[in-house]
Structure 1
Amino acid sequence: MVPLVSLAMFALVSLGMVLTPGPNMIYLITRSICQGRRAGFISLLGVIFGFVFYMFCAAFGLTAILLAVPYAYEAIQWVGAAYLLYLAWGTIKPGARSVLSPRTDLDIDGPRKLFMMGFVTNLLNPKIAVLYLSLLPQFIDPFEGHLLLQSITLGLTQIAVSFSVNLAIVFAAGSVASWFSTRPTWLKIQRWVMAGVLTALASRLALDHRQV
């Protein structure tokens, strides 16, 4: 089994990751405000399923294969960067509103679509695969038992941390939106800050080259 100290350290790393603004957080906030907490929760389940997918890919070595295939990672990398830039433009384009602004014009989607949108939003971030591939080996000790079991234990720890934080975001989104709704200046600032963060993430993703 994974030593408790290593497990705690990995949990802290996972916490720092989930607290970093990204497409998952934006999607969950938007969906929770527009369609309610239940829709946000279903969307969160889709996001978590994306983590489960990457966890098993890392555990069984599929991410290593992905990174070894010429142009496979680069293709996903550019798709992810383009998606982040699309989200960034959506926050500042003419007529755009903050994700924290109450909206009534968003389509009401069913549970299946909500789940799949959450899953795809998470899946389009290739940094998750790289994160699992680069972080997990650092916390696995060959002398502590079954390597696959250690890998899954660490993955489940990351998923538990991500689920807890994102669940709090889903439930708090409405209150935060109400606070911002009475402060239009802060809404404008939030839009530009979020666009800047997403652009920076997209640039870093696009310019990040693998070490060979």
Structure 2
Amino acid sequence: MEGIVNLPLFLVSCVALNVMPGPDTIYLVTRSIAQGRRAGLLSSWGLCTGALVHTFAAALGLSAVLSASAHAFSAVKYAGAVYLIYLGVKTFFDKSGPLPTDNEPAAPVSGCRIFFQGILVDVLNPKVALFFLAFLPQFIDHRAPNKFATFLLLGAILVLFSLVWEGILVLGSSRLSGYFTRNENSGRRVNRVAGSIFVSLGVRMGLV
């Protein structure tokens, strides 16, 4: 492809980066187990949309601001950490539970809310922004006539790999939710586990 160098290496890197477990993977798997396939897929689409936002921002050079300014980096990092902790606490104390139990029907979950939560989780992680800024330029030919378009293309390819891999994770993880739906009070138990994981992710993001 015009403007791209070492395309085979880039494609292999895309596979390796997606298969490697990370905070996004934990978030996605937890969502899928706790709330099923629909929530998992919506979360995946939200995370990938957030990745596209990072790609566009990095292509414009906005991510360089995070790299150059410690205050900007810290502000975005702590905002993301607080948001994850908020999600965790909210999920932990949700008494209704997202899963249907033997005694009560499942509480309706807004698809838009799940989708936008995924976007925020990804967008408010400055390390993702810096990753795109550091990783993608390595595969852009310095003689490329339109580096902006090439940057966006590479980001789109990486996100496409993410969609495929995360879809596999969601399908596998959501099967476990069927087990919990057959057990009384399972929704509340899963909420507590999921909430604890979200809080731990937020604390980790804020401290690292």
TM-score, L = length of structure 1: 0.68
Aligned counterparts of 2:8 and 2:41: Cα–Cα separation in 1: 31
Structure 1 pair 61/7, CA: closer, same or farther in 2 (3 Å)?
Answer: same
Judged with a 3 Å threshold, the aligned counterparts in structure 2 of structure 1 residues 42 and 80 are, in CA distance, closer, same or farther, namely closer
TM-score (ref. length: structure 2): 0.69
Residues 45-67 of structure 1: per-residue CA shift (max 9 Å, x gap)? 21111111111001111111333
Match of 1:20 in 2: 21
Q: Residue 116 of structure 2 corresponds to which residue in structure 1?
A: 116
| 1:143 partner amino acid | R
* Counterpart contact for 2:80–2:202, Cα < 8 Å: no
- Equivalent-residue separation in structure 2 for 1:75 and 1:145 (angstroms): 35
Structure 1 residue 90: Cα displacement: 9.8
Conserved in 1, the CA contact under 8 Å of 2:47 and 2:119? yes
Does the aligned pair in 2 maintain the 1:77–1:126 contact within 8 Å? yes
Q: CA deviation at 1:202?
A: 5.3
The count of corresponding residues between Structure 1 and Structure 2 is: 191
Unmatched segments (≥5 aa) in structure 2: 182-192
Identity %: 30
- Aligned 8 A contact 1:33 1:103 in 2: no
2:14 alignment partner, one of 11, 15, 37: 11
1:88 and 1:45, CA in 2 relative to 1: closer, same or farther beyond 3 A? closer
- Gaps of at least 5 residues in structure 1 are 96-101, 182-190
Q: What residue is the counterpart of 1:37 in the other structure? A: 37
When residues 175 and 153 of structure 1 are mapped into structure 2, their CA distance, relative to the original with a 3 A threshold, is same
User: Residues 82-109 of structure 1, C-alpha deviation per residue, up to 9 Å, x if partnerless?
Assistant: 5667789999x9x9xxxxxx94497432
Question: What residue in structure 1 maps to residue 188 of structure 2?
Answer: none
Query: 1:123-181: CA deviations, max 9, x gaps?
Result: 22221001011111222221344211221121012101111111111111133456899
8 Å contact from structure 1 (residues 44, 163) kept in 2: yes
CA RMSD between the two structures: 3.8
Aligned-pair distance for 1:20? 1.5
* Contact 2:65 2:72 (8 Å CA) reproduced: no
